[in-house]
Every structure is written in structure tokens, then in C-alpha cells.
Amino acid sequence: MSGNRADSSATHGRRLRAIVSTRRCAAVAALVVALGSVATVAAVAGARAAPNARCSAASLPPARASTALPRAVDSMRLRIVAAARRCDYAALVRLGNERGRGLAFSYGGTMSPPAFWRMLERNGPEPRPMEALVKLLSMPHATVALNGREVAPVRARFYIWPRAHRANPSESDWRQLRRLYTASQIERMWRGGGGGYLGYFGYRIGITPAGDWQFFIAGD
């Protein structure tokens, strides 16, 4: 009888250890799966939140601070350039909403700014929007009233880029566009604007004296 009891006790012990071992393995496996799922979710979320890896502005040089602009205007200009060079469309939207109700980026349509810019970056005509943002904001600006006529900074409604967007742009204003547009593109715009006197309808940017970025748009 004692031998049978010993055998039974040993068998019970082995079964108990096997059960514990099995449960531990199952717990470890569940933990591995859970951690893997968390890592996958984190990776997906990170991929969704990350800026685009490449765009037309990614290799362009950074902007330099300008003493010719009010601090609020230049701060916005520098941050726009930095976000465009990172290809960070979401950051650009936040800048457009920072001091106002939004950014004018197209004429009509239902696309969001990031979707619109992403589409043009992939399949749009040259120049692409991120390149235009960075290059235009490195060009000379103009201070204009609502009617587009150049006025003194104290009377300005907007700081605009490029200067060709003001009323009656000069030949020098049109020449500056060579940093962004081809000669044939500039010629077509010049002729379409009545010999240049009605202005320019390529990409243009407007920031108020208070630093509110109100438009980045092309066309008429």
C-alpha cells in the first residue's frame, strides 16, 4: 500500500508540474502575442503620424531669418519653410490655423489640404507645392492692401510672396520667378495677365502683419 501511495504521489507531482509548466508557456505565449500586437499598433500609429519621407522640398536649404519683416511674420515664414522641408503637411495645416480660421489652399473641391498637396506632389505639374512654398518664401516680399496695390508696411493688409503678385508688377518682379518657373511658364503668365500689368496667378503666399498665414494658392 505504501508503495502505491508513493507512486501515486509522484505521478500527481509530475502532473502538477506539467500543468504549471503548460500554464506558464501559455502565459508567456500570450504575453509575446500581446507585446507583438502593441508593437504593431504602435508602428502603424507612428507610420500614420510620421511626415512624408520625401517631397519636392526635402533637399532644399533652410530659410534664414529676415530683419526686413516683423517678428510675427518672419516667425511664421521660418516655420512654414521648416515644415515644408520636412514634408509635414499636418504641421502646415496647424500653422494655417494657428491665428485664424484656416488656410486658403484651392478654389473649391472637398479635399483636405494634406490630401490636395500630396496629390500635387505625386502627379501635379511643376513646380510642386512644397518646392513652391520654400522657394517663394526665400524671395523678396511685397506689402499690399486688399486691392493688391503696394503700400507702406504700416498700412499693409498682407505680406505677400512673390512680389509679382502685387498690382502692376515690374520686370524685375517677373525675373525673380525664374527661381521657380521656366521661362515659357513665366511668358504664358505674363501674356495671360495682359502683358504683366494685371498681376501673376502662380503660387502665392499671404501672411498678415500679425503673423496669420491666410493663403497659399495658385490659379485664378
pLDDT tens digits, 133-161: 999 999 999 999 999 999 999 999 999 99
Residue 199 CB neighbours (<10 A): 18
Mean pLDDT of all residues in 79-92: 98
197 pLDDT band, cuts 50/70/90, is low
Spell out where the chain has E strands.
Answer: 142-144, 158-161, 204-207, 213-217
Q: Which of 141, 135, 147 is nearest to 74 (CA)?
A: 141
Q: What is the pLDDT of residue 53?
A: 61
Model pTM above 0.85 = no
Which amino acid is residue 211, in one-letter code?
G
Q: What pLDDT digit, counting tens, does each position of 28-57 carry?
A: 333 333 333 333 232 223 333 345 568 999
Please report, rounded to a whole number, the percentage of residues in the chain having pLDDT higher than 70. Answer: 73
Where in the chain are the domains?
A: 1-50, 71-217
User: Residue 37, by phi and psi: left (phi above 0), alpha (psi -120 to 50) or beta?
Assistant: alpha
Q: What pLDDT digit, counting tens, does each position of 171-182 carry?
A: 999 999 999 999
Angle, in degrees to the nearest 10, between helices 113-123 and 89-97? 140
Task: Report the alpha-carbon distance of residue 195 to residue 201 in Å, rounded.
Answer: 13
